[in-house]
C-alpha cells in the first residue's frame, strides 16, 4: 500500500529527484509520471529544485512517484544547452538570484550579465551581481568592476565586489542571503563553489582549477542541488553556464525586460518600438543624452539580432 506525502525537491539528477519530506528528516528518491510543458515548449526536467511536490511513497521500495507539483511562486528557465528546442528549469520558488561573475580568470564574457537578467526579469526576481576573485584584479580590472557595480545599481539591481580567497565581502554577502532561498549561478570557473564554501565551510563543495588548455572553467556542479545553510537560509547551487541563448523569447519580450528601456518606452512614438531605427524613439534619445548605458544598449541589440536570426532559421528549417 502506498503512502502519500509532501516535500521539497532538493536535487535533480535527470530521471530521478531527491525529495526532502515535509514532516520528517527523510530524503527519498522519486520519479515523475507523464510529460510536462511550460510556455508551450517541452521541458528537459519537468520538476525543478525548489519545487514543492506531492508524492506517493512505496514503503517496500522506499521510493516515490511525484503526482503533483504545487503552484510555483516563480521559476527560472533557460534554453536547454543540449536540446535547443526545449526549456530547462534551473530552480523554483526562490527569493533571490545570486549571479557570480569575475572580471578575470576567466575573463567576463561581454553581455553575459544582461543575458542572465533576461532569465530573472520576467519573473520579477531580485538579483545580486557578485564580482568575485577581486584578489586577482589589477587597477584596471577593479575600475571595470566598480563601473559595472555602479551601472547595475543605477538601474535597481544589487551588486558587490568580493574575494572568496581573502574573504573580502563574504560576511556582507552572507547577510544579504540570510533568511532567503537563493539561486546561485554563474559562468563556469568564476569560483562559485569556493565562494559558497567560504560562506558555509561545512558545505565542502567540489572546486576545480581553470582548464589549462582553454583557460575556461571546468564543471564541478553537475546537477542543481539545494543546501540548507541554517534554519531559514537555503541556496540552490546550479551547474556553471557556458552560453545563454533564448528559444522562448520574442523581440518585444527583450524590449520589455531591459528595465530602464521599458521605462522610457512609454514615451516612444510607436507602442511596438524596438528602439532601433524607429522615429520618435525615447530610448534612442535617452541613449544620445547618456541616460542609458551604451554597453547595455549594445548587448540589447546583439540579443535582438540573435533572436531574429534564430526565428528566421526556425521558420525556414522545414523547407
181 against 2, higher pLDDT: 181
The pLDDT assigned to 33 comes to 75
- 250-269 average pLDDT score: 96
* 23 and 89 fall within a common domain: no
Task: Give the end of a domain, one of 43, 69, 95.
Answer: 69
CA distance 175 to 232: 12
* 122 and 231 fall within a common domain: yes
> What are the tens digits of pLDDT across the range 102-144?
999 999 987 999 999 999 999 999 999 999 999 999 999 999 9
The pLDDT assigned to 4 comes to 86
> Is the residue at 243 inside a domain?
no
* 219 and 104 fall within a common domain: yes
In 3-state terms, the chain is what percent helix, strand and coil (to 5)?
A: 30, 25, 45
Q: Which one of 43-47, 85-89, 143-147, 201-205 scores highest in mean pLDDT?
A: 143-147
> Is the residue at 308 inside a domain?
yes
* 159 and 214 fall within a common domain: yes
* 129 and 208 fall within a common domain: yes
- 208-217 average pLDDT score: 40
* 144 and 62 fall within a common domain: no
> What are the tens digits of pLDDT across the range 33-44?
766 666 666 888
Number of domains into which the chain is organized: 3
Task: Give the end of a domain, one of 26, 47, 69.
Answer: 69
Band of residue 14 on the pLDDT scale cut at 50, 70, 90: confident
Indicate the DSSP class of residue 135.
Answer: G
Grid cell, residue 63, equals: 521510493
Task: Give the end of a domain, one of 11, 42, 69.
Answer: 69
> Is the residue at 262 inside a domain?
yes
> Is the residue at 245 inside a domain?
no
* 10 and 125 fall within a common domain: no
Q: How wide is the angle at C-alpha 225 spanned by C-alphas 35 and 61, nearest 5°?
A: 60
* 145 and 274 fall within a common domain: no
Band of residue 146 on the pLDDT scale cut at 50, 70, 90: very high
CA distance 71 to 312: 34
Residues 6+ apart with CB under 8 A from 303: 111, 114, 115, 118, 246, 254
> Is the residue at 17 inside a domain?
yes
What CATH number is associated with residue 170?
3.40.50.300
The pLDDT assigned to 213 comes to 34
What CATH number is associated with residue 257?
1.10.40.50
Strands (E), 153-263: 158-161, 181-186, 225-230, 233-237
Lowest mean pLDDT among 3-17, 75-89, 103-117, 205-219: 205-219
Which domain covers residue 197, as residue numbers?
Answer: 75-237
> Is the residue at 246 inside a domain?
no
> Is the residue at 242 inside a domain?
no
- Whole-model pTM: value is 0.90
> Is the residue at 51 inside a domain?
yes
* 88 and 202 fall within a common domain: yes
Q: What torsion, rounded to 10 degrees, do the Cα atoms 179, 226, 122, 82 define?
A: 160
* 263 and 280 fall within a common domain: yes
Band of residue 313 on the pLDDT scale cut at 50, 70, 90: low
* 62 and 186 fall within a common domain: no
* 261 and 279 fall within a common domain: yes
Amino acid at each position: 500500500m502506498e503512502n502519500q506525502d509532501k516535500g521539497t525537491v532538493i536535487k535533480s539528477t535527470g530521471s530521478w529527484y531527491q525529495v526532502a519530506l515535509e514532516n520528517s528528516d527523510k530524503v527519498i528518491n522519486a520519479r515523475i509520471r507523464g510529460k510536462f510543458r511550460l510556455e508551450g515548449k517541452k521541458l528537459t526536467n519537468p520538476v525543478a529544485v525548489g519545487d514543492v511536490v506531492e508524492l506517493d511513497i512505496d514503503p517496500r521500495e522506499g521510493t516515490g512517484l511525484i503526482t503533483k507539483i504545487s503552484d510555483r511562486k516563480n521559476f527560472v528557465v533557460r534554453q536547454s544547452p543540449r536540446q535547443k528546442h526545449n526549456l530547462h528549469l534551473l530552480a523554483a520558488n526562490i527569493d533571490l538570484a545570486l549571479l557570480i561573475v569575475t572580471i578575470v580568470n576567466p575573463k567576463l564574457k561581454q553581455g553575459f550579465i544582461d543575458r542572465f537578467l533576461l532569465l530573472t526579469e520576467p519573473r520579477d526576481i531580485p538579483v545580486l551581481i557578485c564580482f568575485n576573485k577581486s584578489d586577482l584584479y589589477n587597477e584596471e580590472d577593479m575600475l571595470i568592476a566598480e563601473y559595472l557595480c555602479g551601472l547595475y545599481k543605477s538601474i535597481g539591481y544589487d551588486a558587490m565586489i568580493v574575494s572568496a580567497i581573502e574573504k573580502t565581502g563574504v560576511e556582507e554577502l552572507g547577510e544579504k542571503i540570510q533568511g532567503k532561498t537563493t539561486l546561485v549561478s554563474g559562468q563556469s570557473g568564476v569560483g562559485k563553489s569556493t565562494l559558497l564554501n567560504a560562506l558555509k565551510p561545512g558545505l565542502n563543495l567540489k572546486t576545480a582549477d581553470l582548464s589549462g588548455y582553454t583557460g575556461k572553467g571546468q564543471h564541478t556542479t553537475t546537477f542543481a542541488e539545494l543546501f540548507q545553510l541554517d534554519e531559514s537560509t537555503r541556496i540552490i547551487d546550479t551547474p556553471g553556464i557556458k552560453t545563454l541563448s533564448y528559444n522562448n523569447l520574442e523581440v518585444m519580450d527583450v524590449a520589455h525586460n531591459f528595465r530602464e528601456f521599458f521605462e522610457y518606452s512609454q514615451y516612444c512614438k510607436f507602442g511596438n518600438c524596438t528602439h532601433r531605427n524607429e522615429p520618435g524613439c525615447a530610448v534612442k534619445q535617452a541613449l544620445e543624452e547618456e541616460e542609458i548605458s551604451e554597453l547595455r544598449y549594445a548587448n540589447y541589440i546583439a540579443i535582438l539580432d540573435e533572436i531574429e536570426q534564430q526565428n528566421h532559421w526556425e521558420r525556414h528549417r522545414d523547407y
